[in-house]
Amino acid sequence: MPSGRWSGSRRVDLLPPGRHAKVRPLVFATYGDICHLRGLPGADTVDHVRPGDDHGLANLRPAHDEPCHRRKCAQEGVQARARARESIRRPTEPHSGLR
Ligand SMILES: [Zn+2]
């Protein structure tokens, strides 16, 4: 039986990593629906200002899923991939008959 002891409590704790879905409504409540990437209203997702594991309210801003967030993610992905490629530095060999 529910005791109702949580029903009146809407307190928000600092989130453990990976739980920023929970902070989403809070981000919109705090910053509105202005996309922080383009400054236009209608943001429908939450973006990390600094990519990484910081899911604190201070590191989250509203953004448009398309195209802003997607583009930002793509750029971050390209940078990460470029770094990875540099660190691997493996010459790509064309198919040389061995299979
Ligand atoms: Zn946007």
Ligand 1 centroid–CA 56 distance in Å is 20
Look at residue 12 and tell me if it is in a domain: no
Ligand 1 centroid–CA 16 distance in Å is 27
Ligand 1 centroid–CA 34 distance in Å is 8
Specify the pLDDT at position 67: 95
Look at residue 57 and tell me if it is in a domain: yes
Domain range for 43:
20-88
Ligand 1 centroid–CA 3 distance in Å is 43
Long-range contacts of 75-79 (CB under 8 A, 24+ apart): 76/51
94 DSSP assignment: P
Specify the pLDDT at position 99: 61
Specify the pLDDT at position 36: 96
Specify the pLDDT at position 8: 52
- Tens place of pLDDT for every residue, the chain, 99 residues? 555 555 555 555 555 555 556 789 999 999 999 999 999 999 999 999 988 888 889 999 999 999 999 998 898 888 888 988 888 776 666 666 656
Look at residue 67 and tell me if it is in a domain: yes
CB-based contact 63:34 (threshold 8 Å): no
- In this prediction the pTM is 0.60
Ligand 1 centroid–CA 42 distance in Å is 8
Ligand 1 centroid–CA 53 distance in Å is 22
Look at residue 61 and tell me if it is in a domain: yes
Specify the pLDDT at position 63: 96
Ligand 1 centroid–CA 93 distance in Å is 41
Look at residue 79 and tell me if it is in a domain: yes
Specify the pLDDT at position 55: 87
Look at residue 68 and tell me if it is in a domain: yes
Look at residue 96 and tell me if it is in a domain: no
Look at residue 30 and tell me if it is in a domain: yes
Specify the pLDDT at position 65: 94
Q: How many domains does the chain have?
A: 1
